[in-house]
Amino acid sequence: MTTIPLTMDNLSFKWTNNRSIIGPLSGVLSPGHITALIGPNGAGKSTVLRLLGAFLKPLSGTIRYGDQNLSRLSPSARARILTLVPQVLPIGFDLNVRELLSLGTYVHHSWTERIFHPRPLSELDNVIVRLQLQKLVDKPYNQLSGGEAQRALLGMALVQDTPVLLLDEPTAHLDPGHAQTLIAYLKELARVDRKIIVVAYHDLATVGLFADTIWLMDKGQVVINGPAQNILESNKISEIYQTHLTVTQHPVSKRTVILPQDNS
Amino acid sequence: MISLTRVKQWFLPVALLILALVLGLGYGPVDLSWRQLLTSIEAPGLPTTSNVIIWDIRLPRLIAAALVGGSLALAGAIMQALFKNPLADPYIIGASSGAGFGAVMVSLLWPASQALSLGAFLGSLGAVFAAYFLAQGQGRVHMLTLILIGYALSLVLGAFTTFAMLADRQTMSQIFAWELGGIHGIGWHHLVWPSVIMTGSAILVFATAPELNAYYLGEEQAHYLGVNVVFTQSWLLILASLLTAMAVYLAGLIGFVGLVIPHIVRRLYGSDHTAMLPLVFFIGAVFLVGADIIAEHVPSVGTVPLGLVSAAIGGPYFIYLLIHTRAVNS
């Protein structure tokens, strides 16, 4: 069980044909914590996630896992530390769920194993049981429903078995039931597996139910960050979303939730 | 080591390839009996007419057909995975129009040089690399930008080629014949370098199969899976361009092999590149050797361009595929 944190130091980014700069961001993400990036559309949540995933090259700053600088690592060493679960992933070919999941083993196999004799990994079967994918393994990925596809993509990331998990809007296309199941998995991965979890998230109503820490973003900047409750109760939320919102508590868990205003 | 199921998978394509080669040796515009073929195989050294036909005319041509078919099919499989598009083909990023442009330039500038196919080779390679470098931005090459730039470049080069052909009608017929695709008159001396480069590239492509599997999910997701995308993508584009340009050098423009063969193999043997790439090469070879046997001697017509036969067989399958894909996705 790991206690190594992910540290961002003065991290910033700029698209070539755009003047605005994302960041600079600094902060420490610790194992067992779920961090949510929230903010209005276009705030730069997904960009920060892809920056953390080292897919985009930072303008300045570093990301370190323990004392390892992610930008200095080989692609395979980096992919043993972190991976990203996309919001949707259209695939133009016929892959079934088992084939999709086994792509997560890429980083754990040597070149000869990949080409000639794929060594079966116990992770693959564990993940299938854990995410209840048994009935889906032989189904074509393209025929899955939104909730099933999201679970299969999470499964691929779990087979990859990284201590850091980045998720882009994991519940954006899911109905409340499937969203709840997915959130429950994320909580378990944080509490039990002690993973560092970072989620780009847009739903103010539910973010307080699972996030430990919230980074509130606007126009590429982190406006405030801190414990979820403090951020959600801050008046910055209404200011940035440019609307009046009702801050209240979940009747059962007493966690902070934000609802739209209803004056009628 | 290589598993038994995989060896079993290879059995049929390899057997078909051998069968096609034997058929191709025995069948052609000059009638040879099977006894003559057998005698030639037993005593290849004798200076008989049938020996010359079989060993110096038909065999090099059939080997060229096999190499071109295998290479184009393999290049097609690479392009389809890299561009995340099952309808991509080896010519997608300007290889064919580059080849046409190169061929026209050579025949205009050095009309006596007979180096049409060398010009095509250089033009093909040049167009692909031009597209690749123009598509570079923000430290990496985006696959969609590459396709669009390749397309734009194709239009520009195509316009130049047409203009040059109209200005000099003599070259027009020469280029036209070349564009139809053909491997008539290929001798052993033509085959030395292409066969080395094509088989070498093919083996290097087989070694990159796991990365191509990751590319089914697109370059960004391949990156998160741990693939070195910058290296993999330039490496595979270089290999695909070499395979395509070599095929163009030997045979002119032959369509549909690169498009259709990877599909057939995926349907028969599944989508895993480690299993499917060698089969793509073999079945591509079988396809074009078969097409060449038909092209060499169509009864009452005689010899027709290989590209026409390939299109006549591959085209209808492609249309079927388009309709079928649409039915699945809607």
Lowest mean pLDDT among A218-222, B9-13, B322-326: B322-326
- Mark whether A138 and A168 lie in a shared domain: no
Over range A243-250, report the average pLDDT: 88
β-strand partners of A68: A65
pLDDT the model gives residue B330? 40
pLDDT the model gives residue B281? 96
Q: Considering only residues A150 and B87, tell me which one the structure prediction assigns the higher pLDDT.
A: A150
Q: Is B145 on the interface with A (CB under 8 A)?
A: no
| End-to-end CA separation in angstroms for chain A | 51
pLDDT tens, position by position, A35-89: 999 999 888 999 999 999 999 999 999 999 999 999 999 999 999 999 999 998 9
Number of structural domains found in chain A: 2
Q: Decide which of A161, A182, A197 is a domain's last residue.
A: A161
- Mark whether A104 and A155 lie in a shared domain: yes
pLDDT the model gives residue B325? 65
- Domain coordinates of chain B in residue numbers? 4-329
- Mark whether A138 and A251 lie in a shared domain: no
Nearest C-alpha in B relative to A16: B138
Residue with tokens 């993509």: A153
- Mark whether A129 and A173 lie in a shared domain: no
- Mark whether A142 and A192 lie in a shared domain: no
What is the number of other CB atoms lying within 10 angstroms of the CB of residue B294?
16
Q: Quote the mean pLDDT of chain A.
A: 91
Determine which helix (DSSP H) or strand (DSSP E) holds A241, and give its type and residue range. Answer: helix A236-241
- Mark whether A62 and A173 lie in a shared domain: yes
Beta-carbon contacts of B297 under 8 Å, excluding residues fewer than 6 positions away, are B27, B28, B29, B303
- Mark whether A60 and A171 lie in a shared domain: yes
- Mark whether A236 and A249 lie in a shared domain: yes
- Tell me if B281 sits within 8 A of B74, measured CB to CB: yes
What is the number of other CB atoms lying within 10 angstroms of the CB of residue B319?
10
What is residue A258's three-state secondary structure?
Answer: strand
Over range B170-181, report the average pLDDT: 73
Over range B220-231, report the average pLDDT: 94
Over range A104-130, report the average pLDDT: 85
pLDDT tens, position by position, B33-50: 777 877 777 777 777 888
What is residue A259's three-state secondary structure?
Answer: strand
- Mark whether A198 and A254 lie in a shared domain: yes
Over range B245-274, report the average pLDDT: 89
- B4-329 CATH fold: ABC transporter involved in vitamin B12 uptake, BtuC (1.10.3470)
Q: Considering only residues B255 and A19, tell me which one the structure prediction assigns the higher pLDDT.
A: B255
- DSSP codes joined into one string, B20-73: HHHHHHH-SSS---HHHHHHHHH-TTS--HHHIIIIIIIHHHHHHHHHHHHHHH
- Mark whether A149 and A172 lie in a shared domain: no
pLDDT the model gives residue A163? 96
What is residue A148's three-state secondary structure?
Answer: helix
What is the number of other CB atoms lying within 10 angstroms of the CB of residue B162?
14
Nearest C-alpha in B relative to A99: B272
Determine which helix (DSSP H) or strand (DSSP E) holds A232, and give its type and residue range. Answer: helix A228-233
Q: Is B263 on the interface with A (CB under 8 A)?
A: no
pLDDT the model gives residue A135? 94
pLDDT the model gives residue B113? 67
Q: Is the pLDDT of residue B317 over 80?
A: yes
Give the structural domain span for A30.
Answer: 1-81+162-264
pLDDT tens, position by position, A194-229: 999 999 999 998 999 999 999 999 988 999 999 999
Phi, psi of B183 (to 5 degrees): -125, 30
Q: Is the pLDDT of residue B236 over 50?
A: yes
Q: Is A51 on the interface with B (CB under 8 A)?
A: no
- Mark whether A167 and A180 lie in a shared domain: yes
- Mark whether A168 and A45 lie in a shared domain: yes
Lowest mean pLDDT among A143-157, B56-70, B81-95, B267-281: B81-95
**Binning pLDDT at 50, 70 and 90, where does residue A119 land?**
low
Q: Is B300 on the interface with A (CB under 8 A)?
A: no
Q: Considering only residues A81 and B320, tell me which one the structure prediction assigns the higher pLDDT.
A: A81
pLDDT the model gives residue A154? 95
Q: Quote the mean pLDDT of chain B.
A: 85
Q: Is the pLDDT of residue B284 over 60?
A: yes
pLDDT the model gives residue A264? 67
Q: Considering only residues A82 and A93, tell me which one the structure prediction assigns the higher pLDDT.
A: A82
Best of A76, A103, A159 to disrupt the B interface (most B CBs within 10 Å) is A103
pLDDT the model gives residue A23? 80
Q: What is the CATH number of the domain that holds A22?
A: 3.40.50.300
